[in-house]
Amino acid sequence: MTPEDLLARVERALDRRRPWESVWRDCYDHALAATPGGATLHDSTAADAAEGLAASLLAELTPPWSRWFGLAPVEADADPDLAASLDRAADTLQGHFDRSNLSLELHQAFLDLVIAGTGILLVEEAPPGETSALRFTAVPLRDAVLEEGPSGRLDTVFRLARLTHATLAARYPRADLPSPLENPDATFRVVEATWPDRTGTRFLAVLDHDGRMTMLAEGRFHESPFVAFRWMKAPGETYGRSPVMKALPDIKTANKVVELVLKNASIAATGIWQADDDGVLNPATVRLEPGAIIPKAVGSSGLVPLKAPGSFDVSQLVLSDMRARIRSALLADRLSLPRDPRMTATEVLERSAETARLLGATYGRLQTELLTPLIARSLSILRRRGEVPAIETDAHAARIAYQSPLARVQGRADAANTLLFLQAIAALGPQAAGVVDLPAAARHLARTLAAPAAILTSEAPRETA
């Protein structure tokens, strides 16, 4: 693909993205507090719930300083040495995650996910000498143009950036750059593109300056450095839909109601006054605002409001309903910790299971579009550095066993079913218990509950008749 072909493809993708931009702007204005140049917020319910949902996703999917994944052989009866090697590789990768900026950048990407429905994370190899071999960058959605491939994943990413001459020289030291301008803060338009082909992922960076397109770099990756993921999507759409989009009408209504309540409160605090006037009152010039003085004819009663037969505060009823629906749409009432001290352990587990059911579809999509590509790309970097053996996370070599709090909820449910079966078999007597292979059952429970391979003994060979 030539630089001209690349820019033409980017322009076509930008045309398809433009209908979404106004929706994204609305979502950011009403769900991200103090957005520069955005709408004035009077109600912080949506901003608080969106931030809480992003933090909950980080804690439930990729908790910092905790093992949220593991590597295990595909075959249950695989060589124990292979299982131990995979477990050491997972420990090595987790150590790099802990020493990197993954949690910081992933939380920002989750904010994009919750507000706009699509998040993008750039996974790069850090320079030698850094504490971690991995470096992460949350790419703002406004700087990215996406295309969906035949597999249904967002595997084609165009990153649009404006970089200074110093940044260009540091990022592309071998590129033929234009001479620096008199203004050192001047920026240049750069397009970085990744797209899949038969042998991996192609990469091309192009500088668009003064109508000339200069190739900065090109190459090939084993795994794409850009990881794009969505909250949910409708059939036929490329970009994701977010919970903020669903709650946007309620968010706007709550914001307007609070604005009117504040205006009414300011009028109640400062009052509207009347003063005698010898002239004729012109209603078109009357301003109903705090501290206003309305002239009236001498001896007249001035403006007289009509009194309603009943009086009740409708605004509080509407506001309470809107806030409850916003918090429900953003799962604030589901992901928060239970505060009732009378809740039993069973009730807490049932609440966790209900949360897992609500996030089931979203978690499945995030596992496919975020977690698996993130681990595969990171392993590819560590493998190139020689820190982990050659591991292919596919159906023929190793599998990824997710151990995040959200994944463990389903594991506990499967383990409970297995234990219930064993209790029922034990109640039937010794003859029924003879059909159960207890070591195999124990290993099944270990896999279900994501127990470390180090605590399991090597499986003894079975005798054949």
- pLDDT tens track of the chain, all 465 residues? 777 888 889 999 999 999 999 999 999 988 886 656 666 788 888 999 999 899 988 988 898 878 888 888 877 666 667 778 888 899 999 999 999 999 999 999 999 999 999 999 999 998 888 899 999 999 999 999 999 988 888 989 999 988 888 888 888 888 777 676 556 677 888 899 999 888 889 999 888 877 778 888 888 888 899 999 999 988 889 999 999 999 999 999 888 888 888 877 776 666 666 665 556 566 667 676 766 777 776 767 666 665 555 444 666 777 888 888 898 888 876 665 555 566 665 665 566 666 666 677 788 889 889 999 999 999 999 999 989 888 766 655 788 888 777 777 666 777 777 888 888 888 888 888 788 888 888 877 777 776 766 677 766 555 444
3 vs 7: CA distance, rounded Å: 6
pLDDT the model gives residue 251: 92
CA distance 245 to 24: 8
What pLDDT, on the 0 to 100 scale, is given for residue 379?
A: 92
E strand or H helix at 119 = strand 118-125
Task: Give the pLDDT score at 259.
Answer: 84
Q: Tell me if 207 sits within 8 A of 216, measured CB to CB.
A: yes
Both structure tokens of 310: 């009943």
Decide: helix, strand or coil at residue 294. strand
As given in the structure block, the two tokens for residue 318 are 């509407």
pLDDT at 349: 57
User: Measuring CA to CA, how many Å separate 152 from each of 234, 239, 368?
Assistant: 12, 11, 10
Q: Is 110 within 8 Å of 335 (Cβ atoms)?
A: no
pLDDT value of position 198: 82
The sheet carrying 134-138 orders its strands as: 134-138, 118-125, 226-230
> So what's the pLDDT on residue 465?
42
Using an 8 Å Cβ cutoff, are 255 and 140 in contact?
Answer: no
pLDDT for the residue numbered 274:
62
**Which has the closest alpha carbon to 94: 125, 120, 63?**
63
**Scanning the structure block, which residue is given the tokens 């131990």?**
84
The pLDDT value recorded for residue 312 is 47
Written as six digits, the tokens of 183 are 């203004």
Is 0.85 surpassed by the pTM of this model?
A: no
* pLDDT for the residue 86: 86
